[in-house]
A and B are shown apart, each in its own frame.
Chain A
Amino acid sequence: MIEIVDTGPLNTIQDLGRPGYRDIGVTVSGAMDPLALTIANLLVGNDAGAAAVELQTFPVRIRFEQNTAFSVTGGGSAALDGETLPPWWMQIADAGQILEILPSKTSARAYVAFEGGVDVAPVMGSRSTSLRGAFGGNDGRALRKGDVLRLGSPAADVLPAGGFGVVPPLREMASLFPVAENGALLIRALPAGEHDLFGADAERFWTEDWKISAQSDRTGYRLSGNPIRLTEPVEMRSHGIVAGVVQVPPGGEPIVQMSDANTAGGYPKIAGIVEADLWRLGQARIGTRLRFVRATHAEARMLDQAIATYIGDVETTARQVGRALKAMAGR
């Protein structure tokens, strides 16, 4: 068990989400940075999609009730009983030790995984918290000070007592996830259904910078910049949407739907972000500038494959470390 000694608002239990129920209006939810959640789980011997804790407000303090392997990935700077841990790192905590996580300057969200995963009841196949629907996770609500969370049974693998870490994805795959000269994130997207109805404004959508406004959360990011408008209004029929869709309400400032995206929408959509870039957006803090780059299906496939290779490497390494330790223990 672990106890949440301190937490900011809106920190939740998340896994890789609840796909498959959009047709009854149920949001997918899941980690805003699924790559960081996956790596956090692999580091402690869990399946990629085990439930972990997503932190977006800090400081957070967690007390371990028993010896527990844990990992911290994504943004956030972690210390165990005051001793700073390297980023993207797993370690074994002793009973009574306190893990403190402070915000990072560059990334918005941290993920803390525990061996065995956070053991809350799955709802419709997922342990993710749906705040809007008030179900999943811990009673369908954000974590609160004093919450005690049960952990699942750990995998039989031996984990290194001294801890180990991985090279963060942004360093390992730097050339694949570039930023503009002015520091704006370059986010790849494909034109969506109403793209051409924006006329000349459609071109500006791709060439000008957008800023993530303060009206942004797990449901969606509102972008600020020079408004873009349809050349004439269209009557839309409600249709299914996915995270990453860039919709443009009448005011002209785009909204990017994120993990807690609505399942249906009726605003004109100018673009859809490729999934491989969504985790970067999930880690982008309010005020971050970004620019959209027109991509193709082939590029999206290449990025997906690069991420899969990175995850595969981490999985192999984690298993090798475990195997080596077991061999040493058996000597």
Chain B
Amino acid sequence: MSRAATSLASRPLIRSRPKISAIGARAFLLDAPGEFDLAAQRRIWALTQTVRQWPDVIETVPGMTNLLAVFKAVPEDPDSVISRLLDAWERAESIDIKGKTIDIPVHYGGAHATDLAALCDLCGLADKEVVRLHHEGTYTVFALGSAPGFGYLHGLDPRLHMPRKTVPSLRMEKGCVTIGGMQTGVAVLTGPNGWNSIGFADLPMFDPAAEVPALMAPGDIVRFLPERIEL
């Protein structure tokens, strides 16, 4: 086997074309090819802006390097929907949303940091070091979802990546600062939660009566300020 073939085979398989699949008959999910990174997400934001203008689309839901497009009615020709989405992806240029900066004061450690010890065990770093890496990061809101106003944040130091729990905490408090895989975020509802808690933030993330109900929006920058560190 030639050296070129060997290196090709050992490289992780990265699709060059997006994958499009159906969820029921009037929703289509486009998964961007490539890595989980800001470049892919910027293109998803651009794609979202295009697709939301389509007269037959009723809702667009950007996710983590993917976009769900919900159509008003079941399309007569689903294949043409797929080619329109692929075409829109090819044309989508990266956009850089100039978001606002949100500073979130955090109480690291303490009673709410139920998973800090496990994270230290997993990454082999001292709790002080984990806290420092977390609050020194600069995060980008990639998308909102799951619960009202919950922002999926990108930018977590790879040393702090920690898989979601196989058995979720049954009652995690709203406000817990959590890590789920390569993502971080602040819990917005008290209830079952599979992410790992390392601290607590007392900042309202959602107000259903407000004109703009969610505090975070895609493209916003989030910084965590260590208000208190209790280790």
Residues of A that sit less than 8 Å from B by CB: 19-27, 123-124, 132-133, 135-136, 189-193, 235, 237-242, 244-245, 250, 262-265, 269, 272-275, 295, 297, 300-301, 304
Contacts and interface: CB of A to CB of B under 8 A. Distances in A.
Nearest to B181: A235
Contact of A275 (B25, B58, B183): B25
Given A23-B145, A133-B189, A242 B70 contact: yes
Contacts of A265: 146
A239 B146 contact: no
A245 B188 CA distance: 24
Contact of B209 (A123, A239, A295): A123
Interface of B: 19, 21-27, 29, 31, 36, 58-68, 70, 73-76, 78, 143-150, 152, 166, 181, 183, 188-189, 191, 206, 208-209, 213-214
Given A123-B209, A135-B208, A240 B61 contact: yes
A132 B64 contact: no
Nearest to A263: B145
A297 B63 contact: no
B68 to A, nearest CB: 3
Given A24-B213, A250-B166, A263 B146 contact: yes
A272 B23 contact: yes
Nearest to A132: B189
Nearest to B40: A237
A241 B68 contact: yes
Nearest to A250: B166
Contact of B208 (A123, A235, A244, A262): A123
7 contacts: A19-B59, A132-B147, A133-B206, A193-B29, A240-B68, A242-B27, A301-B73
A301 B213 contact: no
A25 B58 contact: no
Contacts of A262: 145-147
A20 B61 CA distance: 9
Contacts of A240: 29, 61-63, 66-68, 145
A136 B148 CA distance: 13
Given A22-B59, A23-B60, A190 B147 contact: no
A239 B27 contact: no
A47 B143 CA distance: 35
Contacts of A123: 208-209
Contact of B73 (A135, A241, A304): A304
Given A272-B22, A275-B24, A297 B66 contact: no
Contacts of B64: 237-239
B24 A273 contact: yes
Nearest to A191: B22
A27 B74 CA distance: 21
Given A26-B213, A263-B61, A301-B74, A238 B146 contact: yes
Contact of B25 (A22, A136, A264, A274): A274
